Structure 1
Amino acid sequence: MSDDLFSFSSSSPSSSTTPLVSGKPMAPEEEESVFSLRPGSFSDYVGQRETVETLQIAIEAAKKREEPIEHVLFHGPPGLGKTTLAHIIANEMGGELTITSGPALEKGGDLVGLLTNLQQGDILFIDEIHRIPKAVEEFLYPAMEDFSIDIVFDKGVHARSHRFRLNRFILIGATTRIGLLSAPLRDRFGMFRTLDFYDTEDLIRIARRSAALLNTPLTPEGARALALRSRGTPRILNRLLKRVRDYADVRADGVLTDEVVEKALALEGVDCLGLTNLDRAFLKTIIDYYRGGPVGIEAIAATLQEETDTLVDVVEPYLLKIGFLARTSSGRKVSQDASRHLGYAVQGRLF
């Protein structure tokens, strides 16, 4: 094989049919597939250098003191590595990792059951932690501060409270909407890190590593083409890689070149900047129906017949990042660059 190709032997997980860009939790089969590509240590982790260094220092210091690290809160758009970092922290600390999500904790008993089963040094990871019901959230306050929970028996004049001691555990929270997290809960985290979109060079490294694990030959040009279309997000890059791999196996010779990447992703509706059909529909709606804006997000969602949360959490962060969209006090506005990219004549109202 040519030295220009990156290819190594490994088992190949099955391809996923999950949408390329999604704000919904991953299905179990996709979670298993992604796990096979997920780095298990900081040495294999690419990007987020300041966050990684901060965590490494905290973990090394905690090991010297023979105690768990402080509770950690990760904030950032979906797919940037919040769950991966939780797995790595568990591996580095030698504790068991328990994963749940805010919407899954409907009653206080759901959370109490998880907390009472944690052993010394175990990690509880709560995704979408901002969506925990208020009544359930209040159980976390004493658990995070004093490693105990107060359980009330009976009601009325016969009510009595019992404090149950917990093993010292580490809570890792992840959220895409930090503004929706209550101040009492946010203030109980010892470490707060914001994850940002990845640059092209880091994404190329991730593409090479994932292609190696998938036993898929990838040229340097193909790796860069994938990186440029992955919206700065490793999860999306891995999804694109699997779609292109399928295309290469059927329509090409199995090698992922830049030409193969371009043709494969054109079928998926992904353009040279990583914009999907939903991204383009979002921008075109503002231009066609609202003269480039400003317009409220509820109006855009109603026109597109999409959930507002999907647009805010999944579509908007990347468009804001590349300067195609602006949020103002009066609503969303489309930029001149976005208008040019979509083939519109630049309008005076666009910024």
Structure 2
Amino acid sequence: MDKQESPLLYSSDIRGVLNPEAEPEDLEESLFSLRPGSLSEYVGQAETVETLQIAIAAARKRGESLEHALLHGPPGLGKTTLAHIIAHEMGGRLTLTSGPALEKAGDLVGILTHLGDGDILFIDEIHRLPRAVEEFLYSAMEDFAIDFVFDKGVHARSHRYRLKRFVLVGATTRVGLLSAPLRDRFGIFRSLDFYDDADLVRIVMRSASLLGVPLLREGAETLAKRSRGTPRIANRLLKRVRDYAQVRGDGRIYEDTVSKALTLEGIDTMGLTPLDRRYLQTILSFYNGGPVGIEAIAATLQEESDTLVDVVEPYLLKIGFVIRTSAGRRLGSAAYEHLGFPLPQD
């Protein structure tokens, strides 16, 4: 008898999924998040956290909603996490979407009309909102109202629909692409920067504790140095090192364990990935160290230029491996040293 013929047999097969005690480790892990739940648990970005603490405390003291907030910075630094925390601290319901997902104004209307007082609307990659959708946001953010136009021509008439006092939290990796009218409607405007090694050590130690992984301090420091100053990458690498330690070691994460696991992943001592090194090698080998335009680099690598600008370049610019000039990108002296090539003679 197969499962389709026997509901009882089918129910017994999925009982392990319904019973938490019978779940495998990987499934249990998916039921909780490594994200901090409050600003007091949040590590790093001290100025941004303090700004939000003051703004949230003041809004709650007055019994008002928080001002709209715009968070910008490279991927993986905690913009979405802060949106979750804001919703938790303000006691509102969080609705998440992204700029590319809102293709027309009607998509946004459906979301806005379902928001209650104090609810949080988080729009990731807000700089990619279509123009028509962005303009629809202006009155929603400023007046908490949206205008509908019925019919056309001489029979056209408008109707204003009042919205609840929601809070818009926008996140972007390219704040320069936001239009001035949209940018000016945010009351809180904060930039997130790369984390230092000390903060990343605290983050991976906390994550290891949540995952139940024995992580030694030396291992945490080595992992932090190779995480490109980014918590998301640190947590992702921690899971890969955990796998390596459980299969090739005794389950504990030592400094040597981290080095061997990340070398296997193609992550070098500076946290550079194979794509990062290909990017640097391309500028060095094909364009004599630069300067060269990003489109030329992307064509040579057969990668999208947006991937290079948003994912690869921010960290390389931060550590001085790449320098942007009016003529294009060129390698910094630190990149030559890291790649093992002599500096070019002027």
| TM-score normalised over the length of structure 1 | 0.90
Q: What corresponds to 1:101 in structure 2?
A: 98
Secondary structure at the aligned position of 1:167 is classed as coil
2:69 to 52, 67, 72: 72
- 1:112-143 deviations in Å (ceiling 9; x for gaps): 00000000000000000000000011110000
Would you say 1:115 and 2:127 are equivalent positions?
A: no
- Please say if residues 90 and 97 of structure 1, whose CA atoms lie closer than 8 Å, have aligned partners that are also in contact: yes
- Please say if residues 121 and 169 of structure 1, whose CA atoms lie closer than 8 Å, have aligned partners that are also in contact: yes
- 1:287-322 deviations in Å (ceiling 9; x for gaps): 000000000000000000000000000000000000
Would you say 1:341 and 2:338 are equivalent positions?
A: yes
1:34 Cα offset (Å): 9.7
1:341 Cα offset (Å): 0.6
Q: What corresponds to 1:137 in structure 2?
A: 134
Q: For 1:14 and 1:138, how far apart are their aligned partners in 2?
A: 44
Q: Sort the Cα spacing of 1:302 and 1:33 in 2 relative to 1 into closer, same or farther, 3 A.
A: farther
2:266 to 265, 269, 280: 269
Q: Which runs of 5+ in 1 are unaligned?
A: 1-10, 16-31
- Please say if residues 74 and 193 of structure 1, whose CA atoms lie closer than 8 Å, have aligned partners that are also in contact: yes
1:13 Cα offset (Å): 6.3
Letter in 2 for 1:74: L
How many residue pairs are counted as aligned between the two chains?
324
1:160 Cα offset (Å): 1.1
Secondary structure at the aligned position of 1:62 is classed as helix
Would you say 1:14 and 2:26 are equivalent positions?
A: yes
Higher helix content, 1 or 2: 2
Secondary structure at the aligned position of 2:270 is classed as coil
Map 1:1-351 to 2 at 5 A.
Answer: 14=26, 33=30, 36-348=33-345
1:35 Cα offset (Å): 5.9
Q: For 1:201 and 1:68, how far apart are their aligned partners in 2?
A: 34
Q: For 1:33 and 1:13, how far apart are their aligned partners in 2?
A: 9
Q: For 2:151 and 2:102, how far apart are their aligned partners in 1?
A: 22
- Please say if residues 221 and 257 of structure 1, whose CA atoms lie closer than 8 Å, have aligned partners that are also in contact: yes
Q: Sort the Cα spacing of 1:348 and 1:230 in 2 relative to 1 into closer, same or farther, 3 A.
A: same
Q: For 1:34 and 1:237, how far apart are their aligned partners in 2?
A: 20
The structure whose RCO (Cα within 8 Å, separation 6+) is larger is 1
Secondary structure at the aligned position of 1:124 is classed as strand
Q: For 2:255 and 2:204, how far apart are their aligned partners in 1?
A: 13
Structure number with greater Rg is 2
Q: For 2:33 and 2:98, how far apart are their aligned partners in 1?
A: 21
- Please say if residues 287 and 293 of structure 1, whose CA atoms lie closer than 8 Å, have aligned partners that are also in contact: yes
Secondary structure at the aligned position of 2:123 is classed as strand
Q: For 1:285 and 1:13, how far apart are their aligned partners in 2?
A: 42
Secondary structure at the aligned position of 2:44 is classed as coil
Percent sequence identity over aligned pairs: 73
Q: For 1:193 and 1:339, how far apart are their aligned partners in 2?
A: 34
Q: For 1:154 and 1:197, how far apart are their aligned partners in 2?
A: 51
Secondary structure at the aligned position of 1:95 is classed as coil
Secondary structure at the aligned position of 2:286 is classed as helix
Secondary structure at the aligned position of 1:37 is classed as coil
Q: For 2:219 and 2:150, how far apart are their aligned partners in 1?
A: 62
